[in-house]
Chains A and B, each alone.
Chain A
Amino acid sequence: MDTLKPLFRPGSVAIVGASKNPDKLGNVILRNIVKSGYGGIVYPVNPKETEIEGIKAFPTVSSVGRPVDLVVVVVPAERVLDVVRDCGGAGVKTLVVISAGFKETGKEGLEREKQMVELCHGYGMRLLGPNCVGVMDTHTPLNASFAAGFPLKGEIAFVSQSGAMLVAILDWSLQTGLGFSRFVSLGNKADLNEADFITGAAADENTKVILCYIEDIRDGPHFLEAVERATRLKPVIVLKSGTSQAGARAASSHTGALAGSDIAYETAFRHTGVIRVHSMSELFDLATVFARQPVPRGSRVAIVTNAGGPGIVATDSIEAQGLEMARFSRETIESFRGELPLEANVFNPVDVLGDARVERFRFALDRVLADEGVDSAVVLVCPTAVSEPVETAAAILEAKKKYPEKTVLGVYMGGESLAGGAEYLNQHGIPCFTFPELAVGALGGLVAYGRIRERPMKEGVPAYQDINPDVVWKVFARVQEDRRRTLLGSEAARVAEAYGIPVAPTRLARRAMEAVTYAAEFGYPVVLKVGSPEIIHKTDVGGVRVGLKTPEEIREAFWDMMERVHQHLPHAAIYGVEVQKMYPKGTELIVGMTRDIQFGPLIAFGLGGIYVNLLKDVAFRLTWGLSEREIRAMIQETKAYTLLRGYRGENPLDIEALVNVIGRVGRLVTDFPEIVEMDINPIFAYQQGVAALDVKITIG
C-alpha cells in the first residue's frame, strides 16, 4: 500500500505540460484534477506560463520548492527524460507518464523507455505508464487522467491494460449507475504493473472487488504471488484477451509481447484463485454482484418464480454452473402446501403461479430464505396481467434486509412492463438481470469465490532426499558439449533416474555387439530405438523395434534400423541404437512439462496411448504451488483417474507411485531451470508401481 499511496492519495500533484489551451491534454488533466474535488495542492508546470486555470504555474518541478508527491507528465516523449531527472532531483515519489512515444513506437522508443525506468529506479521513484490514460480514485478524490468524466463513488477497482476499454467502461458506468473505487490505466507497464495494483487494491479499504482487463502479464512470478495473497482477501476477476489463435496473434502484434499459452494463463488463474471471465458483460455482471451481495455460505440455490418454463431454464443453468438446487426442509414445504394454491409447485423451483401478486412472492421468498438448506435465492418474475413489478421489488428488498447473510438476485424477464421494478432492485443493491442464465452465472462466480477464499494455504513442490543432481549436471554438460538441445533417450532416462523416477533401463549402443551385451544385462526381450536427438517420431522412420528375443534378432534389427533411418533421414545425426528393457503393458499415461514464458514450469498429466489427441484427457498445474495435495487433485480431474481407481471391477492401480513421479518431475524441473520441455510418454501404471518407458528432455 505504501508504494502506491503517493499515487492514489498524494498530498500534492504537479502536472508537467499543463496548458492553457483547452484542447490540450495538459489542460484537460489539470481541469480533471480540480473538478474531481481533489483536496491537496496542485502545481501546474509550464516554463512559458505564470498561471493556468487560475493556479500559479511553475517552470519546473524542482522550482516548486516544496515536496511534490505525484507528477503527471504530458510533455512530448523527447522531453520526458529531462522531466524525469528534474522530478528525481526534486524528491518526487511517483510519476504518471501519459505521453506516448515509447516502446509502442519501436526501437528508439524502447531505448527511451528503458532509460526512463533506469532513471526512476535510480531516484527511487515509481512510474505508471507511459502511454496511459492516467489514474483515478473516487474516495480521495482524484482524477489524474484525461478521461472525460469521473466515475461514481463505489467499491470496485478497475485495472486496465487498454486505455480505450477504461474510458468506455467509465462512460457506460455513469449511465448504469455502477460506482468504482479506483480506475487505473496501465499503459506500457514499464514499472508498475497489474500485480502492483492488485496488491494495492487488496489493501485498499474502499475496494471490495478487483477487476482487471489484461492482454499480457509482465512478470509471471510477481503476478502469482500478488494474486495468491489478494484473492484470499477480495475477489479478483480477470478478463484476459487474446485467447484464440487469431486473438493471440492480434495481441502479440498489439503489445509486442508473446501472448504465452492460454493453458498456462488458465492454470495460473486457477492456482491463485482468480475468477476468470471471457466477456466484458460477464466481467461487470460479476463485479456488480460482488459489490452488492454477500458471498453465499454454499452452493444451494432456491428459485422463486411466477412462471414454470423460465424456472426450468434457471434450474438447468444452476446445474450447468455446478451449483445445487436447494432441497427444502419439511417445514418449508408444509408451509407452502398450507398457503400457496394447490397447483403451485412447492418444491424447488417454487412456482407461485402466473396469477401471483406481491403477497405470494413475499411469503415464498421469506420461507425460502428462512430455510437452513438455502444459501441463495433467485427471484424470477415474468410479466403477467396481475404482476406488480415494483411492489415485488420492494418485497424482495425487504426479505433481503431480513436475511442479510443470504444472497438474493433478481431476474425480471421482460422489457418495458418490468423496467421500473428492475431499476428499483438495481438501485437498492439487488442486482437484477434480464435472463436467468446471467443471474446464475454471476451467482456461480460468488459461490466459486466462497471456495477460493477458504482454500488451503499454498504449499511448495515436495522435497526428496534420494535425488542426485550431480548426475543431471554431468549429463547436461555432455549434451551442451555436443551443442545439442535435446537429450538422447538414454541420457533423459539417466536424468529421470537420478531424481528417483522409475525408468525402464535404457543404454546407447554404438555397435550391434554392445546392444547384445546390454540386452544380456537387462534380460530378454528388449526394445531397440534409434539413438538420435533429431528424430522425434522414431516409429515413422523405422526407428523402433520391439520384442527382440535373441542376440541374432538384435544384430539383424540393429543394422536394419540404421539403414532404414538413413534412407528416411539422410542428414540426421545418429548416435547409435538405444537398447531398453521391454516392460509388460500397463495403463498408458503421460506426464509432461513445458516451461511457460510467463509462469514457469507447466506440468501436464493425462491418459496416453493412441487416443490421447482424441480424448484430450489432460490436467495441468504450474509447479508454483505443486504440493502433493495439488498433484492428487490434478490426477482426480482426469478421466484416467477413473481407470486408475479400478474401472468396472478391475484392480486399482498404484496412484501413489504416480503422485510420486509427478512430484519428482516437479522437483527436477524446479531444480534445473535449463529444462525447457520434458515428456514422459508413455508411463505405464501397474497395480504395483509405474515405469517411464520414454523420457524426452529439451534444455535451453
Chain B
Amino acid sequence: MADLYFTGTAGSGKTAIALGLALFLQEQGVRLGYFKPVGNPPGATGVEDRDAILMREVLKLPLEGREVAPLALGGYYISNYKDPVHCRRLITEAYAKSREAVDAVLIDGGAEPWAMATFGLDAVSLAREFGAAMIYVIRPLNDRSLDEVVFLARSAKERQVHFAGAIFNNVPRTLLAKTEGLYQEVLAAQGVETLGVIPSQTEISAPTVAEYHEALGGDILTGEDHLSNIVEDVLIGAMTIESAIAYFRRSANKAVVTGGDRADIALAALETDTSVLILTGGLYPNVKVIAQAQDKGVPVILVTYDTYHAIERLAKVSRVIRPDDTRAITLARESVTLNCNLNKILALVRG
C-alpha cells in the first residue's frame, strides 16, 4: 500500500484532514501510521509538536514523540541543525520506524510545502524519496489561492512525484459555489483532480480560548471551565461606551482585548457574544467585572503587556485539536467523509 503526503500552507487544516482520513482508513481495515518529518517548534507552553501528540494518541501508535516528529522547523533551524545530512538521516530512520507494522503512513507536511528546502527536505523531495502520493490541502481565499496548487502540482510532476490532487478545506461560504464550479474546472483543465471540498466549520477550524492563552500566557482570572470556547474574531475595545455595544454586536464568538481599567468596555463586551476577555497592562479589573464574567461563563485572561503586543501575539494563533477533544475529532471525521472522494483516496492507499 502507498503512503499519502499531505502538504499545504500553515493554517490550511492539513492535520484535521489527516485525522479525519486516518479514522476513515482505519475503519476500512487499513493499519495506519503517522509521520511528520518537519514538525512545529514547541509553543510558549508546549513541549513537542501538538499534531504529533494528537495523531499518536488517536492512532494509538507505540512511538516516541521524536520518532513521530524528528525535526522542528524553527526560525533558526539552519544554525541550529547545521548538518543537512544528519537531518536527512534522522528523518529516514524515523520514517523507517513509523513504517514498521503498518500498511500505510499518513505523512503530514511542514508549515509550508517548501519548508526546509534548503536542506533538501521540502515536501516534493521527501514525497519523492518515500514514494508517497501527494495531496495538496488548500484554503481558498481568492483567485490567487489556486496558483499555489497549480504551481506545486507542476513541480511535483516534473520531479516524477505522484501528485494525487487537491482538497479545498475550510472554504468560506462566500466562495463555496465558486469553488465547486469555477475553481474545480480551472484545476481540472490544469490536470489537477479535486479530491474534496470541505466547507468552513468554525467548530474545528477556529482556535479556542486555550490556544489564545497558550499564545498570550498571563493569568486566568475566571472561566477556567470555558477554555474550549471558540474564538472567531478579535476586537479591540478602545472606543467610547456608546459605540462599543454596536461594534461588539456585529461580531460573534469574539475575543475582546482591552485595558484592565476599562470596566465599561469589559461589561459591554459581556453583554454581547464574547468568548474571552483579554485584559492588558497588568491592571487587575474591578471584582465586579470578574463576577459578571463568571456569571456569563466568559474566561478572563490578564496579561502584563499592552494591547498592541497582545494583538501581535494573537495574530499567529491557530486551532489545535487536542486528543481529549472528542467532539472536534468526530467532526473532523464527519466533514472528511461527507465532503471527500473517499473511494479515490482509499484506492490511492491500496495502490
Interface residues of A (CB under 8 A from B): 103-107, 109-110, 245, 248-249, 252-253, 255-259, 261, 482-483, 485-486, 510, 566, 570-571, 573-575, 594, 597, 676-677, 698, 700
Contacts and interface: CB of A to CB of B under 8 A. Distances in A.
A255 B273 contact: no
Contact of B291 (A107, A253, A261): A107
B275 to A, nearest CB: 13
Contacts, number: 91
Contacts of A109: 291
A164 B174 CA distance: 57
Interface in B241-273: 241-242, 245-246, 249-252, 262-264, 267-268, 270-273
Nearest to B295: A110
B145 to A, nearest CB: 12
A106 B288 CA distance: 5
A483 B174 contact: no
Nearest to B177: A510
Contact of A103 (B142, B262, B267, B288): B288
Given A245-B240, A256-B263, A566-B142, 17 more contacts: A103-B291, A105-B287, A106-B287, A107-B290, A107-B291, A249-B264, A255-B288, A256-B287, A256-B289, A256-B292, A258-B267, A258-B271, A259-B264, A261-B242, A482-B173, A485-B273, A700-B273
B139 to A, nearest CB: 12
A501 B156 CA distance: 58
Contacts of B273: 485, 700
Contact of A249 (B172, B174, B262): B262
B294 interface: yes
B222 A597 contact: no
A485 B174 contact: no
B148 interface: no
A253 B249 contact: no
30 contacts: A103-B291, A107-B287, A107-B294, A245-B241, A249-B262, A249-B263, A252-B263, A253-B263, A253-B264, A253-B289, A255-B288, A256-B263, A256-B288, A257-B292, A258-B267, A258-B270, A259-B264, A482-B173, A485-B250, A486-B250, A510-B177, A510-B178, A594-B245, A597-B245, A597-B271, A676-B249, A677-B246, A677-B249, A677-B250, A698-B246
Contact of B251 (A107, A257, A485): A485
B26 interface: no
Contacts of B263: 249, 252-253, 256
B190 interface: no
A106 B272 CA distance: 21
B180 to A, nearest CB: 13
B202 interface: yes
A614 B268 CA distance: 27
B246 A594 contact: yes
Contacts of B240: 245
B245 A253 contact: no
The CB with the most chain A CB atoms within 10 A, among B252, B267, B292, is that of B267
Interface string B156-186: 0000000000000000111001100000000
A698 B291 contact: no
Contact of B241 (A249, A255, A676, A700): A249
Given A110-B295, A253-B288, A698 B264 contact: no
Contacts of B155: none
Given A107-B290, A249-B241, A258 B264 contact: yes
A256 B272 CA distance: 16
Nearest to B294: A107
B330 interface: no
A485 B174 CA distance: 15
Contacts of B290: 106-107
Interface in B122-160: 141-142
Nearest 9 pairs of A and B residues by beta carbon: A256-B288, A106-B287, A258-B267, A253-B263, A110-B291, A252-B264, A252-B263, A249-B264, A573-B174
A103 B141 CA distance: 47
B232 interface: yes
Contacts of B264: 248-249, 252-253, 258-259
A107 B225 CA distance: 14
A700 B174 CA distance: 21
Contacts of B174: 573-575
Contact of A573 (B172, B246, B267): B172
Nearest to B286: A253
Given A483-B202, A574-B174, A700 B249 contact: yes
A248 to B, nearest CB: 6
Contacts of A248: 241, 264
B152 to A, nearest CB: 22
B199 to A, nearest CB: 11
A256 B291 contact: yes
Nearest to A510: B177
Contacts of B288: 103-104, 106, 253, 255-256
A529 to B, nearest CB: 16
Nearest to B269: A258
A576 to B, nearest CB: 8
Nearest to A484: B252
A245 to B, nearest CB: 6
B158 to A, nearest CB: 31
A171 to B, nearest CB: 28
A103 B291 CA distance: 7
A110 B271 CA distance: 17
A110 B273 CA distance: 21
A33 B263 CA distance: 39
A165 B173 CA distance: 56
B182 to A, nearest CB: 10
A566 B267 CA distance: 34
Contacts of B141: 570-571
Contacts of B242: 261
Contacts of A566: 142
A676 B272 CA distance: 10
B249 A485 contact: yes
A240 to B, nearest CB: 15
B222 to A, nearest CB: 6
A698 B173 CA distance: 19
B198 to A, nearest CB: 16
A336 to B, nearest CB: 54
Contacts of A257: 267, 292
A255 B287 CA distance: 10
Contacts of B286: 253, 256
Interface string B192-235: 00000000001000000000000000000010000000001000
B294 A252 contact: no
Contacts of A597: 245, 271
A257 B246 CA distance: 17
Nearest to B293: A107
Contacts of A249: 241, 262-264
A259 B246 contact: no
The CB with the most chain B CB atoms within 10 A, among A253, A261, A597, A676, is that of A253
B303 to A, nearest CB: 20
Contacts of B268: 258
B172 A485 contact: no
B92 to A, nearest CB: 40
Contacts of A253: 263-264, 286, 288-289
A486 B289 CA distance: 28
A252 B267 contact: yes
Contacts of B249: 485, 676-677, 698, 700
